Amino acid sequence: MKILITGSDGFIAKNLIMELKNRNYGELLLCNRKTKPEELEQYIEQCEVLIHLAGVNRPSSEDEYYIGNVKFTEHIVNLLKEKQKTIHIIYTSTVMNSRHITYRRSKQEAEEILNKYARQSNSRLSIYRLSNVFGKWCRPNYNSVVATFCYHISHDQKIVIDDPNARINLIYVDDVVESIISCIDAKDHLGVRYIEVKDIYQTTVGEVGEILLSFRQAQRLFEIPSLEMPMRKKLYSTYLSYMEPEEYCYELKMNTDERGAFTELLHSRDFGQVSVNIVKPGKEKGNHWHHTKVEKFFVVKGTALIKLCHMITGQVVDFIVSGEKMKVVDIPPGYTHSIANIGTEDLVTVMWANEIFDQEKPDTYYEKVSSKDS
């Protein structure tokens, strides 16, 4: 399949092209401002699907709306007519309540040109009316409030919100890409149809700003923010893509003593804390219990003897685990427990706790694990 994509250097196009390549979608014919007229003519002649993403949405003068959105669409249609092409056309337009009236009218006129051609040529036409698409590779300080906020917040710059209560509908670029690819594959319609992306997130400009600011604060605390809601998860992925690369690597505090080391790796108020524990050969750690806190121990290197003793019954359970076989040991509340290195190399264990350690309420009480013979 040969797919022509106009506006190939744009935000949505970059994401779409990468995923089409991931899925080995035949030959991609890419058209942008650098494409020569004769190249575009060849692409039109060859293509089986046309994804028309090109357009002007932030011009230096309003005349550019007409030239970029209407005249270019008209030019493409004339080439299609000249080549007598009957193909599937996918067009990204804008919502009809767009505040930018001239932009909206230019996109609407382009829709009408494509509509007319589709009816006359018996071609399939799929139209997306999008607004506020966000995600990686979107240009900040251009036409996306999310991209602008992400850039400024990740660079510790102030964001300006004129009306925090202003309503906004957000669409994630990966959801747009997935829908377009499904549209390419669909064979269930003729004529013209309007397609809505499945997931549209209704929010306010103020809420978006608050969420993105909370991500920056979480970074400073070495925390993973709450990502349970799909919109937050997608905003977080977007936010990280705007950070400067040197911030992707950062140092953690390693607490050391004669027994080894302990480093808190991840914190989240939703899922708790992940740490890396190192025990030197012949050394032991732990010998404490919790009322409510629960943990999981996962040895990734070395050999460990993990002992649990029930605080009421005195029953002791021993587990010998090593990095050679993937095993997890659950540490329930009410059991005092210890972990000893019984090997000849450093014992490295990934530990998860269901809550972040709180110095004021540690829920950690010293108690030596008794042996079975005691």
Catalytically active residues, by annotation: 103
Question: Per this entry, what is the length of the chain?
Answer: 374
Q: Are 5 and 35 in contact (CB under 8 A)?
A: no
CA end-to-end span of the chain, whole Å? Answer: 75
Q: How open is the CA angle 268-199-50, to the nearest 5 degrees?
A: 125
**Dihedral (C-alpha) 91, 97, 99, 101: value to the nearest 10 degrees?**
70
356's torsion region: left (phi>0), alpha (psi -120 to 50) or beta?
beta
Torsional class of 222: left (φ above 0), alpha (ψ -120 to 50), beta (otherwise): left
Q: Provide the token pair at 75.
A: 């030019």
The amino acid occupying position 29 is L
| DSSP code, position 223 | B
How many alpha carbons fall within 13 Å on the CB side of residue 338?
A: 20
Rg (the chain; Cα; Å) = 29
| Cα–Cα distance, 374 to 368 (Å, whole number) | 12
How many helices (H) and strands (E) in the chain? 9, 20
Say which residue the tokens 């925090």 belong to: 164
The pair phi, psi for residue 251, each rounded to 5°, is -90, 140
